[in-house]
Copies of this chain bind each other. A is one copy, B any other.
Amino acid sequence: MTSKSSEKTGSQSPGREEGGRRPEARSRRNFLRSSAALAGGGMLAAGTKAAAAPLAIPSIAHETGRPIPESVYGMPSKFEAHVARRRTDVFKNRQNWSDWSMSPLQHQPGIITPNGLIFERHHAGIPDIDPATHRLVIHGMVRQPLEFRMEDLVRYPSVSRFHFHECSGNGLTDWLKPASTTVQQTHGLLSGVLWTGVLASTLFEEAGVDPRGKWALFEGADSAGHARSIPLEKVMDDTIIAYAMNGERLRPENGYPVRAVMPGWEGNVSIKWLRRIKVGDQPWHLRSETARYTDPMPGGKWRQFSMVMEAKSVITNPSGGMDLKGPGFYEITGLAWSGNGKIRAVDVSVDGGKTWREAMLEGPVMDKCLTRFKAPWEWDGKPAVLMSRAVDSMGYVQPTVKDLQKTRAIVGFVQHHNAIQPWTVNAKGEVRNAIGQA
């Protein structure tokens, strides 16, 4: 006790006050209350019944801690090293210039992904661009081509907006049978971000768009020169020329120093390391629009320019690879989002879709943004199949894989997988990916 200084040495020290008490009998039984019904009908998980006092002073409290350095950018605890973005565990991409890593959704509460955990997707590695030399040009069918330094861009009126960000390939390994184990691997090409930048419309109003202009080419400064053709309507509607994310400048892997953000659309159109935008009167039909980022349809046709990410949801807890620690209360929680607007409702099933009940949506519920849903669940210890189903503000209901098979061809690595994800729970409490099986 003598090393407890500061607040603990006063005459009314709570530590001293309790020194005189006799400990009660200590019970470490890990009980689960069966009487405390939640509003949703579930039961509470509970702590262990404890002795009232005195409490052991933990050994850590006998040592002064780490001091603050003069200047620092902080990092997570060493005990959280398992929380990282990871490459796929389904197949190894050994060449790895064109590669991706996935966000650990099973460890992410709320609707914001920390910048250190936001998923990555690059076609030729991560360039390390000096913002002092980077330039963005707007040209083509405009009255006045414009060139911007970063110090120019940050002087314009800015916006900060919360949006989800999802790769069109999210889930492509898991359509008809389980290939992945965790939700990080089935759904981790998804992040929630507060983007900051200038509306593209602000810059385009200054450049002056030719009335013949209908499309815009966005091109990156990476060595792949990744580029996409974007309808000018989207550019002028809500596209952000973004230089910051979640309260700081973009990270190199996310497009530093400047990128496009097309809210609600597949991630690859939000061109990173943005170096030019060219206005034209038709799409460019780039390789990324003919051979890649297209969807096979029944009859051998391929759908182009399917850029909206339709309504989707996934339960992140409990989710694949977890082990439930016996019957009792669990909070079912997960994420829902729609590229067409806001999430209106999420339904949850614990019996493989036979019955559904509406989950609670945690506010703020924002446009084209991750929405957190929650539903209490009292697990009776018997096998269960957990599912979630999103409904968006357009009235669109998240489909099953079988629903999607009616209009799409599921062959090869198919993009735009927004089907319902089932997780099975067996009697041992093991949670498993059951896509195509439940």
Contacts and interface: CB of A to CB of B under 8 A. Distances in A.
Interface string A245-282: 01111111100110000000000000000011010000
A50 B145 contact: yes
Interface in A211-225: 217, 219, 221-225
A123 to B, nearest CB: 6
A44 B252 CA distance: 28
Contacts of A221: 58, 60-61
Contacts of A3: 223
Contacts of A151: 325
A139 B51 CA distance: 8
Contacts of A46: 146, 152, 206
Contacts of A146: 46-50
Contacts of A112: 112, 194, 246-247
A240 to B, nearest CB: 12
Contact of A225 (B15, B65, B118, B287): B15
Given A74-B115, A117-B73, A288-B7, A101 B196 contact: no
B85 A74 contact: yes
Interface in A1-28: 3-10, 12-15, 24, 28
A156 interface: yes
Number of copies: 2
A99 interface: yes
A227 interface: yes
A372 B244 CA distance: 15
Contacts of A224: 5-8
Interface in A44-98: 44-53, 55, 58, 60-68, 70-80, 83-87, 96-97
A116 B275 contact: no
A176 interface: no
Most chain B CB neighbours (cut-off 10 Å) among A49, A132, A147, A226: A147
A139 B49 CA distance: 10
Contact of A330 (B73, B78, B155): B155
B223 A110 contact: no
A126 interface: yes
B366 A364 contact: yes
Nearest to A112: B247
Interface in A315-346: 325, 329-331, 333
Given A71-B84, A77-B256, A251-B74, A114 B111 contact: no
Nearest to A109: B196
28 contacts: A5-B223, A6-B123, A7-B227, A7-B288, A14-B278, A14-B286, A44-B206, A46-B146, A47-B138, A47-B149, A47-B152, A47-B153, A48-B146, A52-B140, A53-B139, A55-B275, A61-B222, A65-B222, A68-B122, A73-B85, A76-B251, A107-B248, A109-B244, A110-B247, A114-B246, A151-B325, A155-B331, A157-B374
